[in-house]
């Protein structure tokens, strides 16, 4: 379905067209851009609230700066939809996050206006500082570099490392803090309170009101209007002595109304002529311009498709009991376990709703902690809790645990601390693309000494692994990874059972070939075996369950009995479960051929999970086809015989 842009937006093929508009046309352009985003996301899905909140800022930036020569770095990228639409991708925006379409985040491979590939938070300041330093070294005195950071990203350590370096760099760098008090969930921590204090300062508000009244008496409306232009500078001067950013040697301006596009243009135009590192603090509303998104900002971060008139978010019709999402199984199960074991606590870095730890936060607020976007801190905080006999369940998306790898090794595993890592979004996650695929955790965790590394095939297995992980005899780090989305068991609340560490499950016997799987991908194998059985092909199937320690007894049984082994995993082939099986084979002198299926040695872009499983060659059809090839069986012949 084609969506028509408004009369102003339809004229803009790139920012040079935008800069031809009069200033008085920017407000209606912002209205058109906001409506265009609403129209598209309501039909096609995607991130929503963050981009609505920066419409005016986006227009002002491309109006003032000579992009793409001037460089704008968007943090995370949730907020970059308007940027994409204004930079030559308007007519392709309906392909956003679709297979082979536009990426959901800025990508250097997609456009020269996307100066830095993003997806993980808090990288913008460091990247932009590098660009600004390069401009200085190359003698490009006129080039401007801007980092736009928001949606909670300022809480990460990397952001402060960048600020610390920027303050003494002498570069011509502008950092724009888009302050909306939100990441996906509401921001937490002292920095959030500090920014709120700056924005809501009673001293400043009282001073401003008194000046406003005085100027009205002396010079009337004209003088009050002039005062508005210097309000940001006055605010910076009044708060300078206690301003965190000024203390880091960054000239501070703000806070400004981030939805006043005319004022933003004026301030940005002035800041272009102020050399050195500086920070502009703008206050915005996530979901601005769409009432339901303003009222429930977490729900409307990425709502899926919806009726833009009524605000009804569309859900699939349900005609039978449905399997729950794995994250919800985690959320309910940790509460059950915590009710039985007072030592259990929950930790998440800014993803309480995304991980479903919010269930525990509501039931047991004193035992569940959102530490903000700070994965490194989340891991070492968990380690500190563990030293005192508590059992932290540290829930981090697989792709984000990569950011805390040193802490996992140095602060947890080296000290053999009892931290339970619950890795949500393990494997291919779909439309978020390469930055968010949970491809590497099985490989990067299994090489760490003292780690237990596991993956459940279904909801019951997840519950039992979580139960096992907190038992008194477990005195080391324990990792449990599971995928995004629904499981396979509508009746999932089963009694807890201990799983013996390092034991797999024998799911069915077979002939000639054995398939070894780990985690949710075992369900793809189950579906493939149904196809193969219809063709009178009967492979065996074993769920390895642990990639560390390995079930050596099970593997000996497989290599002694079967002439071909096929491994299947929803993770990278290099270094993953299949590699562990090959290492076992080599160490014990077996000569059985081993074929491995999983994520190939490249970054996997965006698309639906089903499309990506097919692309990577380990969906049910691909598994069945591989079995036929390994057994030298022609699938078509068998299918014809079966149906004749």
CA angle centred on 435, ends 61 and 331, rounded to 5°: 110
8 A C-beta contact, residue 240 and residue 246: yes
**What stretch of H or E contains 75?**
none
- DSSP assignment of 586-622 equals HHTT----EEEEEE-SS----S-HHHHHHHHT-SHHH
8 A C-beta contact, residue 426 and residue 570: yes
Q: How many CB atoms lie within 10 A of CB 152?
A: 28
**According to the 3-state scheme, what is the secondary structure of 313-347?**
ECCCCCCCCCCCEHHHHHHHHHHHHHHHCCCEEEE
| 421-450 b/e (C-beta count within 10 Å ≥ 16 → b) | bbbbbbbbbbbbbbbbbbbbbbbbbbebee
Active site residue 362: no
Closest residue by Cα to residue 426 from 490, 479, 353, 358 = 479
Rounded to whole angstroms, how far apart are CA atoms 158 and 255? 23
- Cis bond before residue 311 (omega within 30° of 0): no
Q: Strand pairing partners for 73?
A: 147
8 A C-beta contact, residue 373 and residue 348: no
Active site residue 342: no
Q: Outline where 20-156 has alpha helix (H).
A: 26-44, 49-53, 55-64, 81-84, 124-137
Burial category of 200 from C-beta neighbours within 10 Å (exposed 0-12, middle 13-18, buried 19 and up): exposed
8 A C-beta contact, residue 570 and residue 578: no
Which of 32, 56, 375, 569 is labelled catalytic?
Answer: 375
Which of 98, 251, 278, 403 is labelled catalytic?
Answer: 403
Q: Collapse the DSSP code of 556 into the 3-class scheme (helix H, G, I; strand E, B; otherwise coil) and give the result.
A: helix
Q: How many CB atoms lie within 10 A of CB 28?
A: 14
Active site residue 34: no
Token pair 């089963």: residue: 494
| 147 φ/ψ angles, rounded to the nearest 5 degrees | -110, 130
- Joined together, the tokens standing for residue 219 give 């010079």
Residues 6 or more apart from 32 whose CB is under 8 A from it?
5, 6, 7, 8, 9
Rounded to whole angstroms, how far apart are CA atoms 257 and 421? 41
Q: Collapse the DSSP code of 475 into the 3-class scheme (helix H, G, I; strand E, B; otherwise coil) and give the result.
A: coil
Which of 286, 288, 481, 596 is labelled catalytic?
Answer: 286
- Residues 165/250/112/52 CA torsion (nearest 10 deg): 120
Q: Active-site residues: which are they?
A: 286, 375, 403
């Amino acid at each position: 379905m084609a969506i028509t842009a408004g009369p102003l937006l339809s004229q803009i093929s790139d920012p040079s067209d935008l800069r031809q508009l009069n200033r008085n046309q920017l407000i209606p352009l912002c209205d058109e851009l906001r409506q265009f985003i609403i129209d598209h996301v309501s039909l096609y899905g995607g991130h929503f609230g963050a981009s609505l909140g920066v419409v005016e800022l986006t227009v002002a930036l491309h109006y003032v700066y000579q992009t793409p020569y001037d460089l704008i770095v968007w943090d995370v990228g949730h907020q970059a939809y308007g940027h994409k639409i204004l930079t030559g991708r308007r007519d392709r925006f309906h392909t956003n996050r679709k297979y082979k379409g536009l990426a959901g985040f800025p990508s250097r491979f997609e456009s020269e206006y996307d100066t830095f590939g993003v997806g993980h938070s808090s990288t913008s300041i460091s990247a932009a500082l590098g660009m600004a330093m390069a401009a200085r070294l190359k003698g490009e005195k006129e080039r401007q570099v801007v980092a736009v950071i928001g949606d909670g990203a300022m809480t990460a350590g990397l952001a402060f490392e960048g600020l610390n370096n920027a303050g003494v760099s002498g570069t011509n760098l502008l950092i724009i803090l888009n302050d909306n008090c939100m990441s996906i969930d509401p921001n937490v921590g002292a920095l959030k309170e500090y920014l709120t204090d700056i924005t809501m300062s009673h001293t400043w508000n009282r001073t401003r009101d008194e000046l406003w009244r005085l100027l009205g008496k002396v010079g009337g409306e004209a003088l009050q209007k002039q005062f508005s232009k210097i309000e940001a500078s006055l605010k910076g001067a009044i708060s300078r002595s206690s301003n965190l950013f000024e203390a880091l040697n960054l000239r501070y301006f703000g806070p400004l109304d981030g939805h006043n596009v005319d004022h933003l243009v004026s301030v940005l135009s002035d800041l272009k002529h102020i050399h050195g590192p500086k920070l502009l603090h703008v206050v915005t509303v996530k979901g601005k311009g769409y009432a339901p998104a303003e009222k429930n900002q977490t729900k409307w971060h990425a709502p899926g498709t919806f009726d833009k008139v009524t605000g009804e978010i569309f859900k699939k019709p349900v005609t039978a009991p449905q399997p729950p999402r794995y994250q919800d199984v985690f959320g309910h199960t940790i509460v059950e376990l915590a009710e039985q074991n007072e030592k259990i606590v929950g930790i998440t870095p800014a993803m309480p709703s995304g991980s479903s730890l919010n269930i525990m936060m509501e039931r047991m607020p004193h035992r569940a902690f959102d530490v903000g976007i700070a994965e490194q801190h989340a891991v070492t905080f968990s380690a500190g809790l563990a030293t005192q006999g508590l059992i932290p369940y540290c829930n981090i998306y697989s792709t984000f645990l990569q950011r805390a790898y040193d802490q996992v090794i140095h602060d947890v595993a080296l000290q053999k601390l009892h931290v339970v890592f619950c890795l949500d979004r393990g494997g291919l996650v779909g439309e978020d693309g390469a930055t968010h695929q949970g491809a590497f955790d099985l490989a990067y965790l299994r090489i760490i000494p003292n780690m237990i590394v596991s993956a459940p095939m279904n909801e019951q297995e997840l519950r039992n692994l979580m139960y096992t992980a907190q038992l008194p005899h477990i005195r080391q780090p324990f990792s449990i990874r599971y995928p995004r989305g629904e499981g396979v068991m509508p009746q999932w609340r089963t009694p807890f059972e201990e799983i013996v560490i390092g034991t797999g499950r024998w799911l069915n016997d077979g002939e000639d070939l054995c398939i070894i799987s780990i985690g949710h991908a075992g369900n793809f194998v189950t579906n493939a075996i149904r196809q193969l059985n219809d063709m009178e092909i009967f492979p065996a199937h074993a769920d390895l369950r642990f990639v560390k320690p390995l079930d050596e007894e099970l593997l000996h049984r497989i290599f002694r009995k079967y002439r071909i082994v096929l491994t299947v995993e929803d993770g990278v082939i290099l270094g993953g479960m299949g590699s562990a099986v090959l290492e076992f084979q080599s160490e014990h002198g077996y000569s059985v051929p081993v074929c491995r299926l999983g994520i190939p040695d490249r970054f996997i872009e965006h698309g639906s999970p089903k499309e990506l499983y097919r692309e990577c060659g380990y969906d049910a059809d691909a598994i069945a086809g591989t079995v036929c090839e390994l057994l030298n069986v022609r699938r078509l012949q068998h299918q014809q015989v079966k149906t004749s």
